[in-house]
């Protein structure tokens, strides 16, 4: 297997934290998005959608979505599960993954890509030219505010987002918190349950790393 990625970017960060937690080491190629290397012909041959991360399997299959890649790797490396162990846990983790990606990750991306001059004609990832829509900046901020509160309510009921155990859902939320920093949007002070969860989630990652 070979992983094409770019460490500073949010989607690659989601997968890297998954790999780090499990102690999975992959042959890795950095695709420098600052230099728009994702659009170079050599990488287009790997992933015509020009997005990272992309995991090329030995049989030629290329996995280009983080959730699909995590499902595949979880099956190969089941120790220290991150996608749940019971039917209900698995459903909760995937549901939170979907909810966070649609309600918060996309909201932050709306603000970042539609308000940053560097992304003119690149308001959406991929090879197509897509014009920025400035109005989406305000909408994205509103969606993110609602997302923080949604997550805070959930964390009032359990130590981790999908229940009693650290999971991919917590990794995704950690990356949302980091990604929000790109648009200078910190977790609101009143979201006390998120603030209490943050050191707990980081400790879970550090403990897993210490076991390697």
pLDDT score at 211: 74
- The answer to whether the CB of 121 falls within 8 A of the CB of 129 is yes
- Say which CATH number the domain at 107 has: 1.20.1050.10
115: nearest Cα among 97, 95, 132: 132
Which domain covers residue 143, as residue numbers?
Answer: 87-210
Q: Are residues 54 and 141 in the same domain?
A: no
CA distance 89 to 75: 16
Neighbours of 12 (CB within 10 A): 24
Residues paired with residue 4 on neighbouring β-strands, in sequence order: 29, 54
Residue 6: half-sphere exposure toward Cβ, Cα within 13 Å: 16
What does each of the 212 residues of the chain score in pLDDT, given as a tens digit? Answer: 999 999 999 999 999 999 999 999 999 999 999 999 999 999 999 999 999 999 999 999 999 999 999 999 999 999 999 999 999 999 999 999 999 999 999 999 999 999 999 999 999 999 999 999 999 999 999 999 999 999 999 999 999 999 999 999 999 999 999 999 999 999 999 999 999 999 999 999 998 877 76
pLDDT score at 212: 63
CA distance 49 to 164: 37
Strands laid side by side in the 2-5 sheet: 27-30, 2-5, 54-56, 62-63
Q: Are residues 91 and 22 in the same domain?
A: no
Burial class (CB in 10 A: 0-12, 13-18, 19+), 17: buried
pLDDT score at 76: 97
pLDDT score at 210: 74
Q: Are residues 28 and 98 in the same domain?
A: no
- Say which CATH number the domain at 38 has: 3.40.30.10
Q: Is 81 within a domain?
A: no
Q: Are residues 103 and 170 in the same domain?
A: yes
Q: How far is CA 38 from CA 50, 52, 106, 145, 172, in A?
A: 5, 8, 20, 31, 23
pLDDT score at 105: 97
As for how many domains the chain has, the answer is 2
Give the angle subtended at the CA of 91 by the CAs of 2 and 157, to the nearest 5°: 115
Q: Is 109 within a domain?
A: yes
Question: What DSSP character marks residue 45?
Answer: T
Record the pTM.
0.95
Q: Are residues 54 and 93 in the same domain?
A: no
Of 76, 110, 136, the residue that ends a domain is: 76
Q: Are residues 108 and 69 in the same domain?
A: no
Q: Is 82 within a domain?
A: no
């Amino acid at each position: 297997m070979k992983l094409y990625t770019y460490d500073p970017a949010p989607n690659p960060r989601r997968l890297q934290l998954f790999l780090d937690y499990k102690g999975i080491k992959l042959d890795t190629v950095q695709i420098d998005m600052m230099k728009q290397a994702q659009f170079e012909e050599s990488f287009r041959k790997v992933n015509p959608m020009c997005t990272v991360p992309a995991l090329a399997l030995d049989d030629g299959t290329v996995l280009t979505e983080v959730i699909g890649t995590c499902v595949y790797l979880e099956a190969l490396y089941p120790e220290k599960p991150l996608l749940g162990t019971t039917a209900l846990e698995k459903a909760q983790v995937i549901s939170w993954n979907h909810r966070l990606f649609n309600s918060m990750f996309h909201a932050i991306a709306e603000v970042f890509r539609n308000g940053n001059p560097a992304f003119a004609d690149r308001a959406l990832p991929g090879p197509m030219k897509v014009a920025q829509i400035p109005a989406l900046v305000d909408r994205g901020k509103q969606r993110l505010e609602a997302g923080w509160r949604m997550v805070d309510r959930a964390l009032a009921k359990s130590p981790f987002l999908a229940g009693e155990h650290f999971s991919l859902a917590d990794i995704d939320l950690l990356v949302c918190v980091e990604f929000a920093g790109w648009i200078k949007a910190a977790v609101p002070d009143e979201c006390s349950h998120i603030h209490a969860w943050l050191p707990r989630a980081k400790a879970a990652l550090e403990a897993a790393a210490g076991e390697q």
